[in-house]
Amino acid sequence: MAPCRGGNRIKEQDSLTGLDNWRTAKEKITQMLDGKKVENGLLFYIDLDDFEEVNEIYGYSAGDETLRSIGAKLQETGCRDSVAARIGGGEFLL
């Protein structure tokens, strides 16, 4: 992890899902692509539209469990070199 101002360390993972956060995902993808000719690849961007309604209707614990479940599925789906990340409230990439 890289230090930030004040000597604090920047988190590499989303604390709820255990997936990479946006900063870490961006760094990993940049490293994968730097200096390489990419012949093929795939990027999934997943946005759970109106996800805040899940929290409002079913409660935050149900919303958190849903996000953790999605995170686990993304980790299972990816291959060894995949980057799985939660990049926002209900936004993920693989």
Residue 32 confidence (pLDDT): 84
Residue 71 confidence (pLDDT): 96
Residue 10 confidence (pLDDT): 58
Q: Let me know: does 8 contact 78? Beta carbons within 8 Å.
A: no
What's the rounded Cα separation, in Å, for the pair 48 and 81? 25
What's the rounded Cα separation, in Å, for the pair 89 and 87? 7
Whole-number Cα distances in Å, 63 to 17, 54, 76: 12, 6, 20
Domains and CATH numbers, the chain: 16-93 (3.30.70.270)
Residue 80, SS3? coil
What's the rounded Cα separation, in Å, for the pair 72 and 18? 8
Q: Taking the chain (94 residues) in consecutive chunks of 10 residues, what is each chunk's mean pLDDT?
A: 43 92 92 77 91 94 96 89 92 96
The structure's pTM equals 0.79
Residue 79 CB partners (closer than 8 Å, separation 6+): none
Residue 8 confidence (pLDDT): 42
